[in-house]
Amino acid sequence: DAKTTQPPSMDCAEGRAANLPCNHSTISGNEYVYWYRQIHSQGPQYIIHGLKNNETNEMASLIITEDRKSSTLILPHATLRDTAVYYCIVRSLGGGNEKLTFGTGTRLTIIP
């Protein structure tokens, strides 16, 4: 499985866009990029995923570089409720190897 690298922590001012980077330089062609977040000690919450193209939903946007070796999660207008740990993971298309590992993520703090 491809490994991911994220900065351990980031701050963002409330109302601004939060841009969270993820490096997945060993990603293979059949692997999706997923983003989850975990608020306090709750179960992780799914945010968005993509394969090649940029994606947007009601929560966030996902920008994947053309070579697919890195991606950025964008929270367009961060609120205090977005303070959480954000995890970037990769998952194979076929689901053959489901040993999904989450790493330590990025702790995002939204500052009032």
Q: Which of 70, 71, 83, 92 binds another protein (CB under 8 A)?
A: 92
Is residue 56 a contact residue for another protein (CB under 8 A)?
no
**What b-and-e string marks burial along 78-106, b requiring 16 or more CB atoms within 10 Å of the CB?**
beeebbbbbbbbbbbeeeeeeeeeeeebb
Is residue 32 a contact residue for another protein (CB under 8 A)?
yes
| Phi, psi at 72, each rounded to 5° | -135, 130
Is residue 51 a contact residue for another protein (CB under 8 A)?
yes
Q: How far is the CB of 85 from another protein (least distance, A)?
A: 8
Q: Which stretch binds another protein (CB under 8 A): 14-22, 44-52, 59-67, 73-81?
A: 44-52
Give the footprint of another protein on this chain (CB under 8 A): 30-32, 34, 36, 41-46, 49, 51, 87, 91-95, 98-105
